[in-house]
Amino acid sequence: MIEVKNINKSFNDISVLNDVSICFEEGKTNLIIGQSGSGKTVLLKCIVGLHEIDSGQILYDQNDFSRMNFKERKNIRKQIGMVFQGGALFDSASVEENILFPLNMFSDQSFEEKLERVHFCLKRVNIENASNKFPSELSGGMKKRVAIARAIALNPKYLFCDEPNSGLDPKTSILIDNLIKELTIEYNMTTIINTHDMNSVSEIGDRVIFIYQGNKYWEGSSQQIFKSDNEQLNDFVFASKLYKKIREIY
Amino acid sequence: MKFLFHLGQYALLMQKVFSKPEKKRLYFRQLLVELESLGLNSLGIVVVISVFMGAVITIQTGLNLENPFIPLYLIGYGTRDSMILEFSSTIVSLILAGKIGSNIASEIGTMRVTEQIDALEIMGVNSASYLIFPKILAAVISFPFLVIISIFIGIIGGWLGGCVLTDVLSTDAYIVGLRYYFVPYYITYSLIKTTLFAFIITSVSSYYGYYTEGGALEVGRSSTKAVVYSSVLILLFNLILTQLLLA
Ligand SMILES: Nc1ncnc2c1ncn2[C@@H]1O[C@H](COP(=O)(O)OP(=O)(O)O)[C@@H](O)[C@H]1O
Ligand SMILES: [Mg+2]
Protein backbone atom coordinates (compact mmCIF):
# COMPACT_ATOMS: atom_id res chain seq x y z
CA MET A 1 0.00 0.00 0.00
CA ILE A 2 1.21 3.48 -0.84
CA GLU A 3 -0.23 6.54 0.86
CA VAL A 4 0.27 10.02 -0.46
CA LYS A 5 -0.60 12.69 2.08
CA ASN A 6 -1.11 16.37 1.26
CA ILE A 7 1.72 16.67 -1.22
CA ASN A 8 2.55 19.91 -2.97
CA LYS A 9 4.93 20.38 -5.84
CA SER A 10 5.83 23.45 -7.84
CA PHE A 11 8.42 24.27 -10.50
CA ASN A 12 9.85 27.79 -10.44
CA ASP A 13 6.93 29.02 -8.31
CA ILE A 14 4.36 27.53 -10.68
CA SER A 15 2.31 25.07 -8.71
CA VAL A 16 1.81 21.69 -10.42
CA LEU A 17 0.37 19.58 -7.59
CA ASN A 18 -1.92 21.06 -4.92
CA ASP A 19 -2.43 19.26 -1.64
CA VAL A 20 -2.94 15.85 -3.23
CA SER A 21 -3.82 12.91 -0.95
CA ILE A 22 -4.43 9.43 -2.31
CA CYS A 23 -4.30 5.90 -0.96
CA PHE A 24 -3.19 3.20 -3.41
CA GLU A 25 -4.18 -0.31 -2.43
CA GLU A 26 -2.27 -3.55 -2.72
CA GLY A 27 -3.13 -6.09 -5.42
CA LYS A 28 -5.18 -3.48 -7.25
CA THR A 29 -4.68 -1.51 -10.42
CA ASN A 30 -4.94 2.13 -9.40
CA LEU A 31 -5.49 4.42 -12.38
CA ILE A 32 -4.63 8.08 -12.37
CA ILE A 33 -6.55 9.77 -15.14
CA GLY A 34 -6.60 13.34 -16.36
CA GLN A 35 -5.95 15.57 -19.31
CA SER A 36 -2.51 15.93 -20.77
CA GLY A 37 -0.61 18.47 -18.64
CA SER A 38 -2.73 17.91 -15.55
CA GLY A 39 0.24 16.67 -13.53
CA LYS A 40 0.03 12.86 -13.75
CA THR A 41 3.66 12.31 -14.67
CA VAL A 42 4.86 14.77 -12.05
CA LEU A 43 2.75 12.98 -9.41
CA LEU A 44 4.20 9.60 -10.36
CA LYS A 45 7.76 10.94 -10.35
CA CYS A 46 7.18 12.55 -6.96
CA ILE A 47 5.99 9.26 -5.52
CA VAL A 48 9.11 7.39 -6.67
CA GLY A 49 11.41 10.26 -5.68
CA LEU A 50 12.53 11.40 -9.13
CA HIS A 51 11.14 14.80 -8.13
CA GLU A 52 11.45 16.05 -4.56
CA ILE A 53 8.12 17.17 -3.12
CA ASP A 54 7.80 20.61 -1.51
CA SER A 55 5.68 19.37 1.37
CA GLY A 56 3.59 16.39 2.43
CA GLN A 57 4.29 12.72 3.03
CA ILE A 58 4.72 9.61 0.90
CA LEU A 59 4.32 6.36 2.82
CA TYR A 60 5.34 2.97 1.43
CA ASP A 61 3.66 0.51 3.78
CA GLN A 62 3.85 3.08 6.59
CA ASN A 63 7.51 3.99 5.89
CA ASP A 64 7.95 7.67 5.15
CA PHE A 65 9.82 7.73 1.83
CA SER A 66 10.05 11.50 1.62
CA ARG A 67 12.22 11.66 4.72
CA MET A 68 14.57 8.82 3.84
CA ASN A 69 18.22 9.24 2.92
CA PHE A 70 19.74 7.85 -0.28
CA LYS A 71 20.56 4.46 1.21
CA GLU A 72 17.14 3.89 2.78
CA ARG A 73 15.48 4.94 -0.47
CA LYS A 74 17.56 2.42 -2.33
CA ASN A 75 16.00 -0.33 -0.23
CA ILE A 76 12.56 0.84 -1.33
CA ARG A 77 13.68 1.27 -4.93
CA LYS A 78 14.71 -2.37 -5.01
CA GLN A 79 10.99 -3.10 -4.69
CA ILE A 80 9.87 -0.60 -7.31
CA GLY A 81 9.39 -1.37 -10.98
CA MET A 82 8.67 1.47 -13.35
CA VAL A 83 7.50 1.54 -16.96
CA PHE A 84 8.21 4.94 -18.50
CA GLN A 85 6.09 6.58 -21.15
CA GLY A 86 8.40 5.87 -24.11
CA GLY A 87 9.73 2.68 -22.55
CA ALA A 88 13.06 4.34 -21.67
CA LEU A 89 14.98 1.26 -22.74
CA PHE A 90 18.75 1.73 -22.86
CA ASP A 91 19.46 2.30 -26.55
CA SER A 92 22.99 0.99 -26.46
CA ALA A 93 22.05 -2.30 -24.82
CA SER A 94 20.25 -5.36 -26.17
CA VAL A 95 16.89 -6.46 -24.77
CA GLU A 96 18.63 -9.06 -22.65
CA GLU A 97 21.13 -6.55 -21.26
CA ASN A 98 18.31 -4.11 -20.54
CA ILE A 99 16.60 -6.63 -18.30
CA LEU A 100 19.87 -7.81 -16.77
CA PHE A 101 20.62 -4.25 -15.67
CA PRO A 102 18.41 -4.05 -12.56
CA LEU A 103 19.49 -7.59 -11.63
CA ASN A 104 23.15 -6.58 -11.86
CA MET A 105 22.45 -3.58 -9.69
CA PHE A 106 20.49 -5.24 -6.94
CA SER A 107 20.85 -8.99 -6.97
CA ASP A 108 23.72 -11.20 -5.83
CA GLN A 109 22.71 -14.16 -7.98
CA SER A 110 25.16 -15.84 -10.33
CA PHE A 111 25.18 -14.79 -13.97
CA GLU A 112 23.34 -17.97 -15.02
CA GLU A 113 20.60 -17.41 -12.47
CA LYS A 114 20.17 -13.83 -13.62
CA LEU A 115 20.01 -14.91 -17.24
CA GLU A 116 17.38 -17.46 -16.34
CA ARG A 117 15.35 -14.75 -14.65
CA VAL A 118 15.69 -12.53 -17.75
CA HIS A 119 14.30 -15.25 -19.96
CA PHE A 120 11.54 -16.03 -17.51
CA CYS A 121 10.46 -12.37 -17.60
CA LEU A 122 10.66 -12.21 -21.39
CA LYS A 123 8.53 -15.32 -21.60
CA ARG A 124 6.04 -13.85 -19.17
CA VAL A 125 5.47 -10.86 -21.45
CA ASN A 126 5.47 -13.05 -24.58
CA ILE A 127 8.59 -11.89 -26.39
CA GLU A 128 11.08 -14.70 -25.75
CA ASN A 129 12.60 -14.44 -29.20
CA ALA A 130 13.54 -10.74 -28.98
CA SER A 131 16.31 -11.17 -26.42
CA ASN A 132 19.19 -10.32 -28.76
CA LYS A 133 17.48 -7.43 -30.52
CA PHE A 134 18.22 -3.77 -29.83
CA PRO A 135 15.51 -1.27 -28.82
CA SER A 136 15.69 0.47 -32.21
CA GLU A 137 14.63 -2.79 -33.87
CA LEU A 138 11.46 -3.20 -31.79
CA SER A 139 7.91 -2.04 -32.48
CA GLY A 140 6.13 0.22 -30.00
CA GLY A 141 4.23 -2.64 -28.41
CA MET A 142 7.35 -4.77 -28.07
CA LYS A 143 9.22 -1.88 -26.44
CA LYS A 144 6.46 -1.61 -23.86
CA ARG A 145 6.66 -5.35 -23.21
CA VAL A 146 10.40 -5.19 -22.71
CA ALA A 147 9.93 -2.22 -20.39
CA ILE A 148 7.41 -4.24 -18.39
CA ALA A 149 9.77 -7.23 -18.31
CA ARG A 150 12.54 -4.97 -17.02
CA ALA A 151 10.19 -3.50 -14.41
CA ILE A 152 9.19 -6.90 -13.00
CA ALA A 153 12.70 -8.41 -13.14
CA LEU A 154 13.24 -7.93 -9.41
CA ASN A 155 9.78 -9.11 -8.35
CA PRO A 156 8.70 -5.64 -7.28
CA LYS A 157 6.06 -4.89 -4.64
CA TYR A 158 5.19 -1.62 -6.36
CA LEU A 159 4.67 -1.13 -10.08
CA PHE A 160 4.41 2.29 -11.74
CA CYS A 161 3.36 2.75 -15.36
CA ASP A 162 3.32 6.12 -17.10
CA GLU A 163 0.87 5.95 -20.00
CA PRO A 164 1.68 2.32 -20.78
CA ASN A 165 -0.44 2.28 -23.92
CA SER A 166 0.30 5.68 -25.40
CA GLY A 167 1.18 5.35 -29.06
CA LEU A 168 -0.25 1.86 -29.37
CA ASP A 169 -3.18 0.63 -31.46
CA PRO A 170 -6.39 -0.21 -29.54
CA LYS A 171 -5.84 -3.95 -29.65
CA THR A 172 -2.24 -3.86 -28.45
CA SER A 173 -3.30 -1.33 -25.79
CA ILE A 174 -5.77 -3.78 -24.35
CA LEU A 175 -3.20 -6.59 -24.43
CA ILE A 176 -0.69 -4.43 -22.54
CA ASP A 177 -3.34 -3.27 -20.06
CA ASN A 178 -4.39 -6.82 -19.35
CA LEU A 179 -0.80 -7.95 -18.99
CA ILE A 180 -0.27 -5.31 -16.30
CA LYS A 181 -3.50 -6.32 -14.57
CA GLU A 182 -2.54 -10.02 -14.58
CA LEU A 183 0.91 -9.27 -13.20
CA THR A 184 -0.62 -7.11 -10.48
CA ILE A 185 -2.79 -9.97 -9.27
CA GLU A 186 -0.08 -12.60 -9.78
CA TYR A 187 2.51 -10.79 -7.64
CA ASN A 188 0.03 -8.93 -5.42
CA MET A 189 1.64 -5.62 -6.37
CA THR A 190 0.50 -2.10 -5.65
CA THR A 191 0.15 -0.88 -9.21
CA ILE A 192 -0.26 2.74 -10.21
CA ILE A 193 -1.01 3.56 -13.84
CA ASN A 194 -1.18 6.98 -15.48
CA THR A 195 -3.48 7.13 -18.44
CA HIS A 196 -5.75 9.37 -20.44
CA ASP A 197 -7.34 6.41 -22.17
CA MET A 198 -10.95 5.72 -21.15
CA ASN A 199 -10.67 2.21 -22.58
CA SER A 200 -8.10 1.36 -19.92
CA VAL A 201 -10.46 2.69 -17.27
CA SER A 202 -13.29 0.42 -18.24
CA GLU A 203 -10.93 -2.47 -18.98
CA ILE A 204 -8.66 -2.64 -15.91
CA GLY A 205 -9.46 0.22 -13.52
CA ASP A 206 -10.00 -1.19 -10.03
CA ARG A 207 -9.69 2.25 -8.55
CA VAL A 208 -9.70 5.49 -10.49
CA ILE A 209 -8.33 8.86 -9.39
CA PHE A 210 -9.11 11.92 -11.49
CA ILE A 211 -6.57 14.74 -11.50
CA TYR A 212 -7.54 18.15 -12.81
CA GLN A 213 -4.98 20.96 -12.99
CA GLY A 214 -2.90 19.48 -10.23
CA ASN A 215 -5.81 18.81 -7.87
CA LYS A 216 -7.50 15.56 -7.05
CA TYR A 217 -11.09 16.11 -8.20
CA TRP A 218 -12.62 12.71 -7.90
CA GLU A 219 -11.89 9.15 -6.85
CA GLY A 220 -13.95 5.99 -7.16
CA SER A 221 -14.44 2.74 -9.03
CA SER A 222 -14.58 2.32 -12.79
CA GLN A 223 -18.33 1.69 -12.57
CA GLN A 224 -19.06 4.83 -10.58
CA ILE A 225 -17.16 6.96 -13.03
CA PHE A 226 -19.96 6.91 -15.60
CA LYS A 227 -22.52 8.05 -13.05
CA SER A 228 -20.59 10.82 -11.37
CA ASP A 229 -21.94 14.36 -11.42
CA ASN A 230 -18.52 16.01 -11.22
CA GLU A 231 -18.49 18.51 -14.06
CA GLN A 232 -14.77 18.34 -14.91
CA LEU A 233 -14.79 14.56 -14.70
CA ASN A 234 -17.75 14.32 -17.05
CA ASP A 235 -16.03 16.66 -19.47
CA PHE A 236 -13.08 14.31 -19.49
CA VAL A 237 -14.95 11.01 -19.55
CA PHE A 238 -17.52 11.95 -22.15
CA ALA A 239 -15.20 13.88 -24.43
CA SER A 240 -15.69 11.46 -27.31
CA LYS A 241 -18.91 10.74 -29.18
CA LEU A 242 -18.53 7.08 -28.38
CA TYR A 243 -18.67 7.65 -24.63
CA LYS A 244 -21.51 10.14 -25.01
CA LYS A 245 -23.46 7.35 -26.65
CA ILE A 246 -22.54 4.98 -23.83
CA ARG A 247 -23.95 7.49 -21.35
CA GLU A 248 -27.22 7.61 -23.24
CA ILE A 249 -27.48 3.82 -23.07
CA TYR A 250 -26.79 3.81 -19.34
CA MET B 1 24.20 35.85 -12.90
CA LYS B 2 23.46 33.07 -15.32
CA PHE B 3 27.16 32.27 -15.46
CA LEU B 4 27.24 31.81 -11.70
CA PHE B 5 24.19 29.54 -11.85
CA HIS B 6 25.84 27.31 -14.46
CA LEU B 7 29.11 27.27 -12.54
CA GLY B 8 27.33 26.19 -9.38
CA GLN B 9 25.25 23.55 -11.13
CA TYR B 10 28.39 22.28 -12.90
CA ALA B 11 30.23 22.03 -9.57
CA LEU B 12 27.34 20.09 -8.01
CA LEU B 13 27.23 17.73 -10.98
CA MET B 14 30.98 17.09 -10.73
CA GLN B 15 30.55 16.34 -7.04
CA LYS B 16 27.99 13.68 -7.99
CA VAL B 17 30.24 12.38 -10.78
CA PHE B 18 33.20 11.89 -8.48
CA SER B 19 31.36 10.26 -5.60
CA LYS B 20 32.39 6.72 -4.77
CA PRO B 21 30.96 4.15 -7.21
CA GLU B 22 29.05 1.23 -5.73
CA LYS B 23 29.29 -1.42 -8.44
CA LYS B 24 32.85 -1.09 -9.71
CA ARG B 25 32.51 -3.88 -12.26
CA LEU B 26 29.76 -2.03 -14.14
CA TYR B 27 31.95 1.06 -14.30
CA PHE B 28 34.90 -0.86 -15.63
CA ARG B 29 32.84 -2.18 -18.51
CA GLN B 30 31.67 1.34 -19.32
CA LEU B 31 35.27 2.55 -19.23
CA LEU B 32 36.29 0.02 -21.89
CA VAL B 33 33.34 1.06 -24.07
CA GLU B 34 34.28 4.73 -23.74
CA LEU B 35 37.98 4.10 -24.38
CA GLU B 36 36.93 2.66 -27.68
CA SER B 37 34.36 5.30 -28.59
CA LEU B 38 36.26 8.38 -27.39
CA GLY B 39 39.86 7.27 -27.85
CA LEU B 40 40.23 4.63 -30.52
CA ASN B 41 37.52 6.05 -32.76
CA SER B 42 39.22 9.46 -32.73
CA LEU B 43 42.49 8.07 -34.00
CA GLY B 44 41.54 8.36 -37.67
CA ILE B 45 40.60 12.02 -37.57
CA VAL B 46 43.70 12.87 -35.50
CA VAL B 47 45.98 11.16 -38.02
CA VAL B 48 44.39 12.91 -40.99
CA ILE B 49 44.52 16.36 -39.39
CA SER B 50 48.08 15.91 -38.20
CA VAL B 51 49.47 14.85 -41.59
CA PHE B 52 47.95 17.87 -43.29
CA MET B 53 48.89 20.30 -40.55
CA GLY B 54 52.49 19.12 -40.48
CA ALA B 55 52.74 19.40 -44.27
CA VAL B 56 51.23 22.88 -44.41
CA ILE B 57 53.36 24.23 -41.56
CA THR B 58 56.52 23.04 -43.32
CA ILE B 59 55.58 24.40 -46.73
CA GLN B 60 54.45 27.75 -45.35
CA THR B 61 57.52 28.20 -43.19
CA GLY B 62 59.60 27.44 -46.28
CA LEU B 63 57.74 29.97 -48.37
CA ASN B 64 58.19 32.68 -45.76
CA LEU B 65 61.94 32.08 -45.31
CA GLU B 66 63.25 34.31 -48.04
CA ASN B 67 66.40 35.43 -46.26
CA PRO B 68 69.24 33.24 -47.61
CA PHE B 69 71.23 33.64 -44.35
CA ILE B 70 68.70 31.67 -42.32
CA PRO B 71 69.57 27.97 -42.54
CA LEU B 72 66.83 25.79 -44.04
CA TYR B 73 67.00 23.18 -41.30
CA LEU B 74 65.20 25.64 -39.03
CA ILE B 75 62.06 24.71 -40.97
CA GLY B 76 62.20 21.21 -39.47
CA TYR B 77 62.81 22.74 -36.06
CA GLY B 78 59.79 25.01 -36.55
CA THR B 79 57.51 22.18 -37.59
CA ARG B 80 58.50 20.07 -34.61
CA ASP B 81 57.94 22.78 -32.03
CA SER B 82 54.72 24.07 -33.60
CA MET B 83 53.28 20.58 -33.49
CA ILE B 84 54.39 19.98 -29.92
CA LEU B 85 53.47 23.36 -28.47
CA GLU B 86 50.23 24.22 -30.14
CA PHE B 87 48.90 22.11 -32.98
CA SER B 88 48.90 18.62 -31.50
CA SER B 89 47.52 19.79 -28.21
CA THR B 90 45.27 22.80 -28.76
CA ILE B 91 44.15 22.43 -32.37
CA VAL B 92 43.60 18.68 -32.10
CA SER B 93 41.65 19.26 -28.87
CA LEU B 94 39.49 21.87 -30.59
CA ILE B 95 38.68 19.42 -33.37
CA LEU B 96 37.96 16.68 -30.85
CA ALA B 97 35.73 19.10 -28.94
CA GLY B 98 33.63 19.19 -32.10
CA LYS B 99 33.58 15.45 -32.58
CA ILE B 100 33.44 14.14 -29.02
CA GLY B 101 31.64 17.10 -27.45
CA SER B 102 28.63 16.91 -29.73
CA ASN B 103 28.62 13.13 -29.47
CA ILE B 104 28.57 13.14 -25.65
CA ALA B 105 26.02 15.94 -25.30
CA SER B 106 23.60 14.36 -27.75
CA GLU B 107 24.01 10.89 -26.25
CA ILE B 108 23.40 12.02 -22.67
CA GLY B 109 20.78 14.58 -23.77
CA THR B 110 18.82 11.90 -25.60
CA MET B 111 19.00 9.67 -22.53
CA ARG B 112 17.62 12.58 -20.50
CA VAL B 113 14.66 13.43 -22.72
CA THR B 114 13.71 9.77 -23.29
CA GLU B 115 13.75 9.22 -19.50
CA GLN B 116 16.61 6.69 -19.64
CA ILE B 117 18.36 8.71 -16.93
CA ASP B 118 15.23 8.50 -14.77
CA ALA B 119 15.19 4.76 -15.39
CA LEU B 120 18.79 4.50 -14.16
CA GLU B 121 17.96 6.50 -11.04
CA ILE B 122 14.97 4.26 -10.29
CA MET B 123 17.31 1.28 -10.43
CA GLY B 124 19.42 2.89 -7.72
CA VAL B 125 22.20 4.00 -10.06
CA ASN B 126 23.98 7.30 -9.53
CA SER B 127 23.33 8.26 -13.15
CA ALA B 128 25.73 11.20 -13.21
CA SER B 129 28.62 9.10 -12.06
CA TYR B 130 27.70 6.04 -14.12
CA LEU B 131 27.34 7.98 -17.37
CA ILE B 132 29.92 10.73 -17.01
CA PHE B 133 32.82 9.39 -14.95
CA PRO B 134 33.86 6.68 -17.47
CA LYS B 135 33.80 9.28 -20.25
CA ILE B 136 36.03 11.71 -18.37
CA LEU B 137 38.43 8.97 -17.37
CA ALA B 138 38.56 7.48 -20.87
CA ALA B 139 39.34 10.88 -22.42
CA VAL B 140 41.94 11.75 -19.82
CA ILE B 141 43.65 8.41 -20.44
CA SER B 142 43.49 8.41 -24.23
CA PHE B 143 44.06 12.06 -25.18
CA PRO B 144 47.77 12.09 -24.20
CA PHE B 145 48.33 9.10 -26.48
CA LEU B 146 46.49 10.84 -29.28
CA VAL B 147 48.71 13.90 -28.81
CA ILE B 148 51.93 11.90 -28.94
CA ILE B 149 50.69 10.15 -32.08
CA SER B 150 49.67 13.49 -33.55
CA ILE B 151 53.14 14.94 -32.95
CA PHE B 152 54.82 12.05 -34.75
CA ILE B 153 52.35 12.00 -37.62
CA GLY B 154 52.64 15.78 -37.95
CA ILE B 155 56.40 15.53 -38.23
CA ILE B 156 56.05 12.82 -40.90
CA GLY B 157 53.48 15.03 -42.66
CA GLY B 158 56.00 17.88 -42.57
CA TRP B 159 58.58 15.68 -44.25
CA LEU B 160 56.04 14.57 -46.89
CA GLY B 161 55.01 18.16 -47.57
CA GLY B 162 58.43 19.77 -47.49
CA CYS B 163 60.75 17.10 -48.84
CA VAL B 164 58.65 14.68 -50.92
CA LEU B 165 55.77 16.65 -52.45
CA THR B 166 57.75 19.87 -52.88
CA ASP B 167 61.44 20.52 -52.45
CA VAL B 168 61.37 23.20 -49.83
CA LEU B 169 64.32 21.51 -48.11
CA SER B 170 66.23 18.25 -48.21
CA THR B 171 65.41 15.28 -45.99
CA ASP B 172 68.82 15.61 -44.33
CA ALA B 173 68.23 19.26 -43.46
CA TYR B 174 64.75 18.43 -42.14
CA ILE B 175 66.18 15.77 -39.85
CA VAL B 176 68.88 18.11 -38.59
CA GLY B 177 66.11 20.59 -37.79
CA LEU B 178 64.07 17.98 -35.96
CA ARG B 179 67.04 17.25 -33.69
CA TYR B 180 67.96 20.88 -33.15
CA TYR B 181 67.57 22.36 -29.65
CA PHE B 182 64.98 19.91 -28.31
CA VAL B 183 63.30 20.93 -25.01
CA PRO B 184 61.75 17.84 -23.38
CA TYR B 185 59.69 20.07 -21.09
CA TYR B 186 57.61 21.17 -24.08
CA ILE B 187 56.27 17.65 -24.30
CA THR B 188 55.31 17.75 -20.62
CA TYR B 189 53.64 21.11 -21.16
CA SER B 190 51.73 19.75 -24.12
CA LEU B 191 50.56 16.67 -22.22
CA ILE B 192 49.44 18.72 -19.22
CA LYS B 193 47.42 20.97 -21.50
CA THR B 194 45.82 18.04 -23.28
CA THR B 195 44.83 16.30 -20.09
CA LEU B 196 43.05 19.42 -18.93
CA PHE B 197 41.39 19.86 -22.34
CA ALA B 198 40.20 16.23 -22.21
CA PHE B 199 38.58 16.97 -18.86
CA ILE B 200 37.02 20.20 -20.14
CA ILE B 201 35.55 18.63 -23.27
CA THR B 202 34.03 15.61 -21.56
CA SER B 203 32.77 17.31 -18.40
CA VAL B 204 31.34 20.41 -20.09
CA SER B 205 29.63 18.38 -22.82
CA SER B 206 28.24 15.95 -20.27
CA TYR B 207 26.95 18.91 -18.28
CA TYR B 208 25.01 20.31 -21.22
CA GLY B 209 23.68 16.86 -22.10
CA TYR B 210 22.69 16.00 -18.54
CA TYR B 211 20.61 19.13 -18.02
CA THR B 212 18.80 19.00 -21.35
CA GLU B 213 15.07 19.63 -21.00
CA GLY B 214 12.47 19.09 -23.69
CA GLY B 215 12.86 17.06 -26.86
CA ALA B 216 14.93 16.45 -29.96
CA LEU B 217 15.32 20.17 -30.69
CA GLU B 218 16.79 20.84 -27.26
CA VAL B 219 19.16 17.89 -27.62
CA GLY B 220 20.51 19.56 -30.76
CA ARG B 221 20.85 22.85 -28.91
CA SER B 222 22.69 21.23 -26.03
CA SER B 223 25.10 19.62 -28.41
CA THR B 224 25.84 22.96 -30.09
CA LYS B 225 26.35 24.60 -26.70
CA ALA B 226 28.64 21.78 -25.64
CA VAL B 227 30.92 22.35 -28.63
CA VAL B 228 30.91 26.15 -28.37
CA TYR B 229 31.56 26.33 -24.63
CA SER B 230 34.19 23.61 -24.54
CA SER B 231 36.03 25.29 -27.44
CA VAL B 232 35.95 28.68 -25.75
CA LEU B 233 37.15 27.16 -22.48
CA ILE B 234 39.96 25.35 -24.28
CA LEU B 235 41.17 28.65 -25.77
CA LEU B 236 40.89 30.40 -22.42
CA PHE B 237 42.75 27.72 -20.49
CA ASN B 238 45.33 27.47 -23.25
CA LEU B 239 46.19 31.09 -22.54
CA ILE B 240 46.18 30.61 -18.77
CA LEU B 241 48.28 27.44 -18.83
CA THR B 242 50.78 28.93 -21.24
CA GLN B 243 51.25 31.83 -18.86
CA LEU B 244 51.61 29.48 -15.91
CA LEU B 245 53.82 26.83 -17.46
CA LEU B 246 55.97 28.60 -20.04
CA ALA B 247 56.20 32.27 -19.15
N1 LIG C 1 10.68 19.54 -14.94
C2 LIG C 1 9.68 20.42 -15.06
N3 LIG C 1 9.92 21.74 -14.93
C4 LIG C 1 8.93 22.64 -15.02
N5 LIG C 1 7.64 22.33 -15.26
C6 LIG C 1 7.33 21.03 -15.40
C7 LIG C 1 8.32 20.01 -15.31
N8 LIG C 1 7.72 18.82 -15.49
C9 LIG C 1 6.41 19.09 -15.69
N10 LIG C 1 6.15 20.40 -15.64
C11 LIG C 1 4.83 21.04 -15.79
O12 LIG C 1 3.92 20.37 -14.97
C13 LIG C 1 2.66 20.25 -15.59
C14 LIG C 1 2.20 18.81 -15.55
O15 LIG C 1 2.99 18.02 -16.39
P16 LIG C 1 2.87 16.45 -16.50
O17 LIG C 1 2.86 15.85 -15.16
O18 LIG C 1 3.93 15.99 -17.43
O19 LIG C 1 1.45 16.26 -17.20
P20 LIG C 1 0.75 14.92 -17.65
O21 LIG C 1 -0.48 14.84 -16.85
O22 LIG C 1 0.47 15.08 -19.10
O23 LIG C 1 1.69 13.80 -17.39
C24 LIG C 1 2.82 20.79 -16.99
O25 LIG C 1 2.24 22.06 -17.04
C26 LIG C 1 4.31 20.87 -17.20
O27 LIG C 1 4.61 21.98 -18.00
MG1 LIG D 1 2.59 12.50 -18.72
pLDDT band at A222 (very low <50, low <70, confident <90, very high): confident
Interface of B with A in 121-180 (CB under 8 A): 121-125
Q: Is the pLDDT of residue A247 over 80?
A: no
**Residue A4's beta-bridge partner residues?**
A22, A58
Q: Do A150 and A89 touch, CB atoms closer than 8 A? A: yes
> Do A161 and A83 touch, CB atoms closer than 8 A?
yes
What residue segments make up the domains of chain A, in order of their start? Answer: 2-79+158-249, 88-155
> Which contiguous run of DSSP H or E holds residue A18?
strand A14-24
Q: What number does CATH give the domain A2-79+158-249?
A: 3.40.50.300
- Mean pLDDT, range A170-186, rounded to an integer: 92
Read off the pLDDT of residues B80-101 as tens digits, 9 standing for 90 and up.
Answer: 999 999 999 999 999 999 999 9
Amino acid identity of residue B97, one-letter, is A
Which numbered ligand comes closest to the C-alpha of A14? 1
Angle in degrees, 0-180, between the axes of helices B216-245 and B184-210, rounded to the nearest 10: 150
Q: How many CB atoms lie within 10 A of CB B70?
A: 10
**pTM over 0.95, yes/no:** no
Q: What is the pLDDT of residue B100?
A: 96
SS3 at position A208: strand
Contact A91 B110 (CB under 8 A): yes
Q: Do A86 and B114 touch (CB under 8 A)?
A: yes
Contact between B146 and A78 under an 8 Å Cβ cutoff? The reply is: no
pLDDT reading at B22 higher than 80? no
The response to whether residue A42 sits with its C-beta less than 6 Å from ligand 1 reads yes
CB A35 within 8 A of CB A72: no
The preferred substitution site among A9, A41, A194, A215 for testing ligand 1, maximizing ligand atoms within 8 Å of CB, is: A41
Task: For residue A32, give the amino acid letter.
Answer: I
Which amino acid would we find at residue A190? T
Report the pLDDT averaged over residues B19-30. Answer: 84
* Helices B171-178, B74-82: inter-axial angle, 10-degree rounding: 50
B27 touches chain A (CB under 8 A): no
